[in-house]
Amino acid sequence: MGVFIPLIVVNCIIMGRVEAFASKQSVVSSIADSLGMGLGYTWVLVGISAFREILGNGTFAGIQVLPQSYQPILFFILPPGGFFVFSFFISFNIWMKNRMQKAALKGIVVNKEAA
């Protein structure tokens, strides 16, 4: 039962967020939000699984993509490897957001100096 309680809580959080957004927005906005959330979640799952399969087996969708001499890293096939890859995705996301914010601030400063 210990594994199922966190899963139920996460489902409740996701459904609560969807309900809170949909109750305050139009139908079109709610549909666009749900499609965006679904595509984003799909991208993350596909990205994590591809990363883990390539490093853990040297294959992608059953096709050998790394040389035969590649020694698979078993860690990435196991559950802790999934958490490691997920943390890598989060780190990459934070890095990209910071980079975009710096670029936006730089653009604003350049425009003010030019004016």
pLDDT, tens only, 59-87: 998 899 999 898 989 999 998 898 899 89
Beta bridge partner(s), residue 59: 64
- CA–CA dist 74, 52 (Å, integer): 10
Domain total of the chain: 1
Predicted model pTM? 0.67
pLDDT > 70: percent of the chain: 90
Which range (4-8, 29-33, 57-61, 95-99) has the least confidence? 4-8
Helix (H, G, I), strand (E, B) or coil at 65: coil
- CA–CA dist 60, 70 (Å, integer): 14
Tracing tokens 């699984």 back to the chain, one arrives at 49
Residue-range definition of the domain harbouring residue 75: 4-114
pLDDT beyond 60 at 24:
yes
Confidence at 1, pLDDT banded by 50, 70, 90: low
Q: Can you give the length of the chain in residues?
A: 115
Residues 93, 98, 99, 104, CA torsion sign:
positive
Helices and strands in the chain, H and E counts: 3, 2
Query: What does pLDDT average to over the chain?
Result: 85
